[in-house]
């Protein structure tokens, strides 16, 4: 099989009916299918998920689809990095991807998908209780968009296993809840966050960063790491823990201002949340874990990151 | 096969894992599965759907599940008729049902399902643009509840074909949109409304009617039929058409009042709607169809019915 694969090109499928009919053969052959949904602009984090997928299942599907429903009207849908030929090259080089699914917006959203919520019609999926906090505060429709496209892609690809990255921690929790609540017959796997040499979490949005912005992008990871160090030292109180993080961001923001660099470093939030409910924790109880997460504006680019303490996603 | 079936008892399955493992054999055998979701309290309308299902597929699953998510806090969830042993007897007598799925509320809603919307957590599915009008006015969360449970049951049963009754016309349109938008690999079929000797649409809620109420329950069908007759005569104007229906309801309501029967006959709505958008029509254009529908309170019991003009669901 593997030597056959080496000379095979990756199959590109662009329509729902073609994907379905391609998928059908593996039902008959009783071969499990692994699925890695992406918005393209692939980096090491994605490639790592694809490798994990290929270790788990004989068949691997990667989708590349920039999902309009998870962008707000003032967000970066139009400018979101699209690097299809490079993405396909990367996926081919892995030598373990069977099919790349490249659906069109009108096929995924047959009822249309205008950015203004008042005009939106058709079927939407929402995970109540886990979508409104953290990322959901700045991006109120983000997880509705994620949940909706994930449900659609699951029904099209009908994977046995799906792979999501830890970097989007809340997304992992939302999708895990969706799989359980809607009874998708799918097993979910979370791949570790891939980081640059200095610890910056890999993200498609890092492409927006000029070298100057890039220098300060690491601030969020530094803040989270400082909090994690305090946790490792045995500190359990929210105020004490978060203060460490705020200090680091404030210092970096002050430097940016002093140096007159022409951009701003602005913290959106730092969070210390219960891994199962995503509620903010005042104290971390013994034997219980926490998700440390945050979002930082580096100029106009909004970056997120997280570290886990005594828990998995 | 059919002679084997005759001596087989209908299989009763109560858990999601058992249903899944039972279902699996038919994937391997490449046998199509038909699914009729019900809330029990079965009548001829349901049985007709089951018969259609068995004509379409070698395997037939019927679910009986009173879905809390489609009841409002002030609606009849607790009193909704539950007649399980009679239902099972009826299904056995059809001699074409393979499995009856009787899931528990806590299995279908792992995140719980309190009636108060503010307390609801977990995953919900909503068909925007087709859920807020008609039945959605009196019952604002009804179709969210229907869409959510239908998505769950589809993922559990994984049917190839599903069967819904025309009596719930808006539900048919909502589910058809959900199947298309979420890309469920399922074909939907709509069974005709079954009616009593006088035309009253069969409904589980007819059990609430005393003989006196039953006499007046036919009013809605009479009103819809009068409108349909005008359409057949060539009338196309909303006002002229609906007036016929209003007159019939008003006359019946007056009689109830005059006779001092101790209940009220109250029209909730009469509608003349576009079959694809469910928007109210002012004129029915040549070559275009319409859904005539309505809801009537007969005492405390709310009954619905519809007739189709030049369209299907």
Nearest to A178 among B108, B123, B181 (CB): B123
Whether the CB-CB separation of B279 and B286 falls below 8 Å is answered with no
Please state, in angstroms and rounded to a whole number, the distance separating the CA atoms of residues A144 and A71.
Answer: 10
Instruction: Pick the last residue of a domain from A159, A191, A223.
Output: A191
Nearest to B183 among A16, A129, A185 (CB): A16
The verdict on A34 and A157 lying in the same domain is yes
The verdict on A238 and A179 lying in the same domain is no
Catalytic residue list contains B46: yes
The DSSP call for residue B23 is H
B299 assigned to some structural domain: yes
A198 assigned to some structural domain: no
Q: Assess whether pLDDT exceeds 60 at residue B1.
A: no
Structure tokens, B301: 């019991």
B151 touches chain A (CB under 8 A): yes
Catalytic residue among A43, A46, A132, A189: A46
CATH of the domain at A276: 3.30.1300.10
Q: Quick: pLDDT tens for B221-231.
A: 999 999 999 99
The verdict on A248 and A187 lying in the same domain is no
Which of B13, B22, B183, B185 to mutate to test binding with chain A, by most A CBs within 10 Å of its CB? Answer: B183
Structural domains in chain B (count):
2
The verdict on A213 and A185 lying in the same domain is no
Nearest CA in chain A to B175: A123
Confidence grade of residue B286 (pLDDT, cut at 50, 70, 90): confident
CA distance A65 to chain B (A): 15
What CA–CA distances, in Å, run from A161 to A35, A55, A65, A180, B129? 6, 11, 19, 13, 33
A62 assigned to some structural domain: yes
Please state, in angstroms and rounded to a whole number, the distance separating the CA atoms of residues A190 and A172.
Answer: 7
Confidence grade of residue B2 (pLDDT, cut at 50, 70, 90): very low
CATH of the domain at B33: 3.40.50.620
Instruction: Pick the last residue of a domain from B191, B224, B244.
Output: B191
The verdict on A10 and A101 lying in the same domain is yes
The verdict on A45 and A171 lying in the same domain is yes
The verdict on A178 and A82 lying in the same domain is yes
A121 touches chain B (CB under 8 A): yes
* Rg value, chain A, Cα: 20
Q: Which residues of A touch B150 (CB under 8 A)?
A: none
Whether the CB-CB separation of B227 and B240 falls below 8 Å is answered with no
Give me the helix-helix angle, A169-181 and A142-157, nearest 10°. 50
Please state, in angstroms and rounded to a whole number, the distance separating the CA atoms of residues B232 and A285.
Answer: 72
A152 touches chain B (CB under 8 A): yes
Nearest CA in chain B to A109: B181
B196 assigned to some structural domain: no
Average pLDDT in the B212-219 region?
A: 97
A281 assigned to some structural domain: yes
CA distance B291 to chain A (A): 20
Q: Which residues of B touch A156 (CB under 8 A)?
A: 183
The verdict on A131 and A217 lying in the same domain is no
| pLDDT value of position B8 | 57
| pLDDT value of position B140 | 92
> How high does pLDDT run on average in chain B?
95
The verdict on B179 and B231 lying in the same domain is no
Q: Quick: pLDDT tens for B197-206.
A: 999 999 999 9
A197 assigned to some structural domain: no
Handedness of CA A296, A124, A133, A34 (dihedral sign): negative
B215 touches chain A (CB under 8 A): no
| pLDDT value of position A7 | 47
Backbone angles phi, psi at A213, to 5 degrees: -65, -40
Q: Which residues of A touch B155 (CB under 8 A)?
A: 182-185
Which of B181, B186, B187, B277 to mutate to test binding with chain A, by most A CBs within 10 Å of its CB? Answer: B181
Nearest to B111 among A110, A120, A181 (CB): A181
The verdict on B25 and B166 lying in the same domain is yes
Nearest to B122 among A120, A122, A127 (CB): A127
Whether the CB-CB separation of A87 and A5 falls below 8 Å is answered with no
b/e map A144-173, b = 16+ CB within 10 Å: bbbbbbbbbbbbbbbbbbbbbbbbbbbbbb
Provide the H-helix boundaries in chain A.
2-7, 16-28, 44-56, 84-94, 105-108, 135-138, 142-157, 169-181, 211-217, 219-232, 238-258
Please state, in angstroms and rounded to a whole number, the distance separating the CA atoms of residues B39 and B84.
Answer: 10
pLDDT less than 70: residues of chain A: 1-8
Instruction: Pick the last residue of a domain from A191, A216, A244.
Output: A191
Q: Do B182 and A123 touch (CB under 8 A)?
A: yes
Which residue matches tokens 């009636």? B115
Please state, in angstroms and rounded to a whole number, the distance separating the CA atoms of residues A127 and A68.
Answer: 18
The verdict on B215 and B137 lying in the same domain is no
The DSSP call for residue A237 is B
Q: Which residues of A touch B173 (CB under 8 A)?
A: none
Q: Assess whether pLDDT exceeds 70 at residue B252.
A: yes
What CA–CA distances, in Å, run from B79 to B63, B83, B267, B301? 19, 12, 22, 12
Note down the domain range covering A241: 204-309
The ipTM estimated for the assembled molecules is: 0.94
Q: Assess whether pLDDT exceeds 50 at residue B5.
A: no
The verdict on A208 and A187 lying in the same domain is no
Q: Which residues of A touch B158 (CB under 8 A)?
A: 185
Nearest to A111 among B20, B28, B181 (CB): B181
A102 assigned to some structural domain: yes
A199 assigned to some structural domain: no
Q: Quick: pLDDT tens for B126-150.
A: 999 999 999 999 899 999 999 999 9
Handedness of CA B110, A182, A41, A131 (dihedral sign): negative
CA distance B304 to chain A (A): 24
């Amino acid at each position: 099989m593997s030597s056959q694969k080496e000379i095979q090109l990756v199959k590109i499928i662009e329509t729902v009916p073609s994907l379905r009919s391609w998928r059908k053969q593996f039902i008959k052959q009783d071969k499990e299918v692994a699925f890695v949904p992406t918005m393209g602009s692939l980096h090491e984090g994605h490639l790592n998920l694809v490798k994990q997928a290929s270790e788990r299942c004989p068949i691997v599907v990667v989708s590349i689809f920039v999902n309009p429903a998870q962008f707000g009207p003032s967000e970066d849908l139009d400018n979101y990095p699209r690097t299809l030929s490079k993405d396909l090259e990367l996926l081919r080089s892995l030598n373990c991807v069977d099919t790349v699914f490249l659906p069109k917006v009108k096929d995924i959203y047959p009822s249309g998908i205008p950015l203004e919520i008042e005009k939106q019609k058709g079927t939407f999926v929402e995970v109540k209780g886990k979508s409104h906090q953290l990322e959901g505060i700045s991006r109120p429709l983000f997880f509705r968009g994620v949940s909706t496209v994930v449900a659609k892609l699951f029904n099209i690809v009908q994977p046995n296993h799906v792979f999501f990255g830890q970097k989007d921690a809340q997304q992992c929790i939302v999708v895990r809840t969706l799989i359980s609540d809607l009874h998708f017959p799918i097993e979910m796997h979370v791949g570790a966050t891939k980081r640059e040499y200095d610890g910056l979490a890999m993200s498609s949005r890092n492409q927006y960063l000029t070298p100057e912005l890039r220098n300060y992008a690491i601030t969020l990871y530094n803040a989270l790491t400082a909090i994690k160090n305090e946790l490792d030292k045995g500190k359990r109180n929210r105020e004490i823990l978060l203060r460490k993080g705020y200090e680091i961001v404030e210092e970096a923001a002050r430097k940016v201002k002093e140096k007159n660099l022409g951009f701003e470093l602005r913290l959106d939030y730092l969070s210390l949340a219960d891994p199962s409910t995503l509620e903010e924790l005042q104290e971390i109880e013994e034997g219980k874990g926490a998700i440390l997460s945050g979002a930082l504006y580096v100029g106009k680019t909004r970056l997120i990151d997280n570290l886990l303490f005594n828990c998995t996603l």
